[in-house]
Structure 1
Amino acid sequence: MPLTEIPAITGLGLGAAMGLGALLVPEWASGVVRLKADPAKGGGYSEFRATYGGLLFLVHAVALGIVLLTPPAGSALAVMPIAAGWFGAAFGRVVSLLFDRSKLGDTRIIPIWMATEVALGLAIGAPVLQFLG
């Protein structure tokens, strides 16, 4: 196993664990993302379990399986879209800081989330490094 796969395995495991946590305890996911289900409209918990839970869990878990079971080229291809997704989340926060200042309230947590998302993107995307240079 190339050393570049170790951070990917760690990042994918963390992403899968976050997804599993949201799948099993949607209240936790609601608190993390600071959104609340609207009982009047229904479907809120289903959304937390589906998007923050099942989607995150299976995307990361399947990629983790691919990294563990395939040659390095296969793992690099499997992790690229997921790493890009984490970079995209950080980019979305930058856009929000630029355009949503009046709606954001306390923005101190945003740089922390951005750093976390960039770190996950770098860790998960690390297998690509073995093919550069």
Structure 2
Amino acid sequence: MSVFTIICAIALTFCALIGLGALIAPKWAAGVVRLVPDPDPARPGGFSEFRATYGGLLFLLHMTALVILLRVGGPIAMLAILPIAAGWLGAGFGRALSFLLDTKENRAPGMIPVWIPLELVLGLAIASPVLQIGANP
């Protein structure tokens, strides 16, 4: 197993654990992303979104890619990890744009300067097996 596969596996595991945390503790996920359920009493709920999108989706998406990476490998694994890596890179890019353009709406930068590099690093780490292939002459 190459060092790039190990880096990718560690990043996928970390992201899956974030998803598992949100699945088990949606209040934690809400606090991390600084979102709240709809306070309108006529529209109760909102925690299902934290459990579903930040929880189940992130957990199973990354776990599936991890299994494909470790059990199947090869070009199939590259096709499984590349969209996930692109998603994290896109999140970092979107957050950077928000940091630059949405200063009034964001009120204070909060964790945004921390999340931008983290999302970019996660995207690059997940993509490392693909990027490594392109680096070989």
Q: TM-score, normalised by structure 2?
A: 0.91
13-22 or 108-117, which deviates more: 108-117
Q: Which residue of 1 aligns with 2:64?
A: 62
| C-alpha distance 9-89 of structure 1, shift in aligned 2 (>3 A) | same
| C-alpha distance 75-128 of structure 1, shift in aligned 2 (>3 A) | same
Percent of pairs with identical residues? 51
Q: Which residue of 1 aligns with 2:83?
A: 81
Q: Which residue of 2 aligns with 1:8?
A: 8
SS in 1 for 2:17: helix
- Deviation string 1:73-132 (CA, Å, 9 cap, x unpaired) is 222211100000000101111221232111111114212100110110011111102321
CA contact (8 A) 1:75 1:127 kept: no
In the alignment, which of 63, 70, 73 is matched to residue 71 of structure 1? 73
In the alignment, which of 40, 47, 50 is matched to residue 49 of structure 2? 47
Q: TM-score, normalised by structure 1?
A: 0.94
Q: Report the number of matched residues.
A: 133
In the alignment, which of 111, 118, 136 is matched to residue 116 of structure 1? 118
Q: Say what the alpha-carbon RMSD is for the aligned residues.
A: 1.3
Distance 1:103 1:36 in 2: 16
Could you tell me which runs of 5 or more consecutive residues in structure 2 were left unpaired when the two chains were aligned: none
Q: Which 4+ residue blocks in structure 1 deviate beyond 3 angstroms?
A: none
CA contact (8 A) 1:2 1:72 kept: no
Could you tell me which runs of 5 or more consecutive residues in structure 1 were left unpaired when the two chains were aligned: none
- Deviation string 1:46-67 (CA, Å, 9 cap, x unpaired) is 0000110011001000000001
